[in-house]
Amino acid sequence: MARYNPKETEPKWRQAWADADSFRAVADPARPKYYVLEMFPYPSGRLHMGHVRNYSLGDVIARFKRARGFSVLHPMGWDAFGLPAENAAMERGVDPKAWTYENIARMRAELKELGLSIDWSREFATCDVEYYGKQQAWFLDLYERGLVYRKESVVNWDPVDQTVLANEQVVDGRGWRSGAVVEKRKLNQWAMRITDYADQLTDDLATLDRWPEKVRVMQENWIGRSKGLKFRFHFAGEGPAEGLEVYTTRPDTLFGASFVGVAADHPLAEAVAAKDPKAAAFIAECRKGAATEAEIETAEKIGYDTGLKVKHPFDPNWELPVWIANFILMDYGTGAIFACPAHDQRDLDFARKYGLPVKPVVLPAGEDAASFEVGDEAYVGPGAIFNSDFLDGMDVEAAKAAAIARIEAQGDGDGATVFRLRDWGVSRQRAWGCPIPVVHCEKCGVVPLPKSALPVAHPDDIEFSKAGNALDRHPTWKHTTCPTCGGPATRETDTLDTFVDSSWYFARFANPHAEEPIDKAAADYWLPVDQYIGGIEHAVLHLLYARFVTKALADDGQLSVREPFAGLFTQGMVTHETYRRQNGEWVEPKEVEIEVVGNTRRATLGANGEPVTIGDSEKMSKSKRNTVAPEEIFDVYGVDAARLFVMSDSPPERDVQWTSGGVQGAWRFVNRVWDEFDSQPAEVGAAEPEPELRRATHKLVKQVTEAIDTFRFNSGIARLYEFLNLLKANPAKGASPALLAARQEALLAFARLIAPFTPHLAEECWARIGGRGMVVEAEWPGFDPALTEDAVKVLPVQVNGKRRGEITAPAGAEPADVEKIVLDDPEIARRLEGLTIRKVIVVKDRIVNIVAA
């Protein structure tokens, strides 16, 4: 009996797959296609357990679908532009390009060691000039279509990274990478008109039925579509001639209006402040506070009465005061509102504070119009409109429509849809990114380059010793000539947000060597991605941008699909216990020794026996030092054990806690599986297989197949563990020919069932028992539904709901026959002594319950 040795076995099979070119994706019209993609990694230089989990999950799907006859595309690439390379350049004086490609080489080797079924012939990095040059080409196409534009705008400026951030990259007022408090700056910026697609991006979420509900809700909230009315108030007396435009989603409550409010940054507020020092002081106060989201949320509502009045749109004799209020946002709607305190909590808080009228106009069902009052809580529910002239008696929706119609007829405004989503600012003041292919000419202004001038590549000698944009500092690179007039011009030195790089890479994988950015025929075959896998942290960043770019490129005729990812799976994190010394320093798991006494665990520092505090299990991170290096695990237990463990211990969407005991358990399983295959004799004869094991095998195939289909990988693995115990209970040693035959059938199935999880072990086992070819070429095992059911059922017998015994009956036995067996059973009869049977409930093949008194 030879011990299983992954160090020899695993590289051997990886070489065999490579030699056979097993994972090359081939567009085969005779077979259905399946595109599996995991979010591509940033090449930090080292693989972490999160990668191991992410790519193992995708590999299970890819191998499973291949075995089921699909033509599978499972590619890999590198999200390779970005700040870490520039930081490394600044800190260590290395060249960012060389640094990045060295990291890629290291990580590629590690990923290959994982034994992933990837078509490496399609690999590319976003920093390859062959890739970003194509990105420049479609950037120009979108510029042509008016989807890319330049504007001066107030932007989020990260003072640490010295670059602009998109709204999506600002979290709680801080840069998502640097954590620095973001400042506001006015800059000339490139932007993409994602807002042109806001409606489609919202509507099409409904078609993404294989996305997690959670992600769809997050995107819907982020886009924030609302339908309402934009209209103008006319001033009574003093005030700008053009009036004051407001936006509302509640035109039905117009007769409950109490005042009109504008944001502190609103032009009207600024105009008032120019003449009124008190107003100026108030605005200054509004600007002072409100640095972080948390402060904005808790800030008290304050306001300033400008003294201006506007006329109510439906009653020229009714005048409303105009206030400046801190709770109104300039960058949403028109920065001005009409307030109906009875039916909006913010307006109500404000009205109560400043003694403004509160007039209810929506009457909840069951309330009386004469007595209904609003106290400290605004009524926002449905009801009948009252106190509202021509709207009286209508429900909320009808009144909205009627009010909008009246305003439109008066020429004061129109029904409008407003979004929270802003255009996507894509300029970054960084050198290590995709250069924006335009020049600035003194005579012609901003001039896009012709495609013949592409790619616009980086210079090789960028100098990174200082912060800021090294591309802009370069002595010669930016100086060029204008393609229009031939005069002197300077290149744009901003580069594109790296989220642009990742917004179309999945389409490039269809044919990464194509002349055009996207090989349409290839993309038509492979897209959309059937199963996309990655972390939930990209729910509104990458996943929204990729959807937008897909739609924009589809409208430009470069793609046929309008959604890039038909299925999305968001996997959980890999966590580990945290350990701290008495002085609070974090300690790495490998420095800690754990002692188990009964049910309590004690930790000490291996080096000196100092006690260590065991903390919660948290996401593996450098800062808390609770990481486990994949390569060290591979070295001790092999790749298969590591893959198996990250998938066995939790459902894929949940966090998985890494423990040394857990991986040892997986390692033992690997060995026990091998023992079982190794114990099977080479010649098993041709006997009729023993039926019990045979049934168990078919049941197993059914269960594991369904578990993989529904992303319950841990559950499938649990079934495999159980089945191995069953095989051990039916050993080859001393087995009858019938049992040996059943074992052979079981093992042939088992090797294929474990292949998606532990592919190297599967090959070794398959070869050991004489499987034909390699497992990667074998069909997924089928099962006979009739054999997944037991021939004889053990039925528990309950008396008054409590288990009192069991009987055996043939599968599918009729209730009357079962009842007879039960009543003939002496043990049951004893339990029923002195009782009258009122009812016997027989659930076919499941259970019997006797109700007796």
Q: Are 74 and 25 in contact (CB under 8 A)?
A: yes
Closest of 282, 287, 258 to residue 272, by C-alpha: 282
Regarding 651 and contact with RNA (CB under 7 A), the answer is yes
Applying the rule CB under 7 A, the residues between 505 and 544 that interact with RNA are 536, 540
One residue of 297, 377, 683, 833 binding RNA per CB under 7 A: 297
Give least dist CB 251 to RNA, A.
8
Closer to RNA by Cβ: residue 662 or 737: 662
Give least dist CB 570 to RNA, A.
10
Closest of 445, 441, 449, 448 to residue 489, by C-alpha: 441
Closest of 790, 797, 851, 800 to residue 824, by C-alpha: 797
Give least dist CB 511 to RNA, A.
36
Q: Are 631 and 639 in contact (CB under 8 A)?
A: no
Give least dist CB 5 to RNA, A.
10
Residue type, 59: D
Closest of 413, 408, 358, 420 to residue 247, by C-alpha: 413
Regarding 423 and contact with RNA (CB under 7 A), the answer is no
Could you give the CA distance from residue 279 to residue 264 in angstroms, rounded to a whole number?
9
Task: Encode 50-63 in three state secondary structure.
Answer: HHHHHHHHHHHHHH
Closer to RNA by Cβ: residue 299 or 829: 299
Residue type, 447: V
Give the angle 23-26-31 at the CA atoms, nearest 5°: 110
Closer to RNA by Cβ: residue 536 or 767: 536
Q: Where are the beta strands (DSSP E) in 237-363?
A: 244-248, 259-262, 303-312, 315-325, 336-339, 362-363
Closer to RNA by Cβ: residue 44 or 167: 167
Applying the rule CB under 7 A, the residues between 162 and 221 that interact with RNA are 213-214, 217-218, 221
Applying the rule CB under 7 A, the residues between 662 and 681 that interact with RNA are 662, 664-666, 668-669, 671-672, 674-675
Give least dist CB 55 to RNA, A.
20
One residue of 728, 770, 777, 835 binding RNA per CB under 7 A: 728
Regarding 326 and contact with RNA (CB under 7 A), the answer is yes
Closer to RNA by Cβ: residue 526 or 634: 634
Q: Is 19 helix (H, G, I), strand (E, B) or coil?
A: helix
Give least dist CB 395 to RNA, A.
18
Closest of 576, 717, 571 to residue 55, by C-alpha: 571
Closer to RNA by Cβ: residue 319 or 678: 678
Applying the rule CB under 7 A, the residues between 745 and 764 that interact with RNA are none
One residue of 13, 124, 231, 247 binding RNA per CB under 7 A: 247
Could you give the CA distance from residue 113 to residue 202 in angstroms, rounded to a whole number?
41
Pattern 571-610, RNA, x by CB under 7 A:
-------------------------x-xx-----------
**Interface stretch with RNA, choices 86-94, 296-304, 738-746, 749-757 (CB under 7 A):** 296-304
How many residues bind RNA, per CB under 7 A? Answer: 84
As a whole number of Å, the CA-based R_g of the chain is 34
Regarding 250 and contact with RNA (CB under 7 A), the answer is yes
Instruction: Check residue 253 and report its DSSP letter.
Output: G
**Interface stretch with RNA, choices 369-377, 470-478, 626-634, 657-665 (CB under 7 A):** 657-665
Applying the rule CB under 7 A, the residues between 777 and 816 that interact with RNA are 794, 796, 798, 800-801, 803, 806
Regarding 734 and contact with RNA (CB under 7 A), the answer is no
**Interface stretch with RNA, choices 64-72, 158-166, 381-389, 645-653 (CB under 7 A):** 645-653
Task: Encode 438-475 in three state secondary structure.
Answer: EEEECCCEEEECCHHHCCCCCCCCCCCCCCCCHHHHCC
**Interface stretch with RNA, choices 201-209, 435-443, 491-499, 841-849 (CB under 7 A):** 841-849
Could you give the CA distance from residue 171 to residue 160 in angstroms, rounded to a whole number?
15
C-alpha 327: how far from its chain's center? 32
Applying the rule CB under 7 A, the residues between 127 and 146 that interact with RNA are none
Lookup: tokens for 778: 């074998």
Number of helices and strands (H, E) in the chain?
26, 38
CA quadruple 435, 436, 442, 447: dihedral, nearest 10: 140
Q: Are 64 and 752 in contact (CB under 8 A)?
A: no
**Interface stretch with RNA, choices 124-132, 549-557, 777-785, 836-844 (CB under 7 A):** 836-844
Applying the rule CB under 7 A, the residues between 342 and 401 that interact with RNA are 344, 346
Lookup: tokens for 710: 């529904």
Pattern 703-722, RNA, x by CB under 7 A:
---------x-xx--x--xx
One residue of 73, 328, 362, 821 binding RNA per CB under 7 A: 328
Could you give the CA distance from residue 721 to residue 704 in angstroms, rounded to a whole number?
11
CA quadruple 359, 361, 365, 371: dihedral, nearest 10: 30
**Interface stretch with RNA, choices 188-196, 269-277, 292-300, 818-826 (CB under 7 A):** 292-300
- Partnered with residue 594 across adjacent β-strands are 603
Helix ranges, 93-128 (H)? 96-113
Give least dist CB 817 to RNA, A.
17
Give least dist CB 698 to RNA, A.
18
One residue of 494, 563, 649, 764 binding RNA per CB under 7 A: 649
Regarding 300 and contact with RNA (CB under 7 A), the answer is yes
- Partnered with residue 78 across adjacent β-strands are 125
Applying the rule CB under 7 A, the residues between 4 and 43 that interact with RNA are 4
One residue of 12, 31, 353, 654 binding RNA per CB under 7 A: 654
